[in-house]
Amino acid sequence: MEVWVMQKNILIVDDESITRQGIKKTLESWTNGNKEILVAPNAASAIDMFKSKKIHLLITDIDMPEMTGLEMLKEIKRIGQLPVVIIISAYSDFSYAQEAIELGVINYLLKPINKQKLIEVVEKALELEEKRKRVSMIEKVVDDRLIHIKEDEKLDGPIEKAIKYLDSNISNQINLKEVARHVHLNPSYFSVLFKEQTSMTFSEYVTRIRIQKAKNLLLTTNLTVSEIAEQVGYNTPKYFIKIFKEYENVTPNRYKVK
């Protein structure tokens, strides 16, 4: 399976060309081409970039003409992006600290900027961005109803065994009779017992674990929708897309980029 790794984009915003290009040169040397380093001479240009590209780390001057760094951060937040932010300034009196923290600022550098200090701060910022991404991904993928079932210590042995079997074989064509046979129960009785203990039908549970696995694959791999449909047990991409949209209110492709 090919794991999809998104390149990190770093945007530097400063109206002083020397500072802007100096930071860019330092970071390009440090990243050795592994990250895209972008620059903008003012807040308006930066906002335009945010509208067309995902920015993971923003390094911005706080004191710029026409629109300050904090005003820019409010606008960026309004359009739906929440990068990790490092603020740079020529002044040590940073009186907007609380407001800045609320807008995503995690560190503050004074001009002139020490190259080693810059790299240290950027490394920590990217580590934080990665942690935030992982938390966000977990929240996006996890089905609360499935978590509740798997944390339930009162499940009978056969139902617990059935759930483990389903989780291990979800990419296969699976049906109630097969699972009932696996746990040595009559299919009709198994169906009633399953719903009684999980508060959902057998078919709903199967669909939910397939959708959860599909969401994880959509966010972490470069697999096509057809390939994902096959890996989560659907015969045709068309039917997979239909079921996915019923549960998530968006198509798989739209889910991947939303």
Q: 178-221: per-residue pLDDT in tens?
A: 999 999 999 999 999 999 999 999 999 999 999 999 999 998 88
121-145 pLDDT, tens digit each: 999 999 999 888 888 778 788 888 8
pLDDT at 257: 65
The dotted CATH code for 9-139 is 3.40.50.2300
User: Which residue ranges in the chain fall short of pLDDT 50?
Assistant: 2-4
Domain positions in the chain are 9-139, 144-257
pLDDT at 3: 43
pLDDT at 136: 79
pLDDT at 34: 87
The dotted CATH code for 144-257 is 1.10.10.60
Cα–Cα distance measured from residue 30 to residue 52, given in angstroms and rounded to the nearest whole number:
26
pLDDT at 232: 95
pLDDT at 200: 94
Cα–Cα distance measured from residue 64 to residue 82, given in angstroms and rounded to the nearest whole number:
20
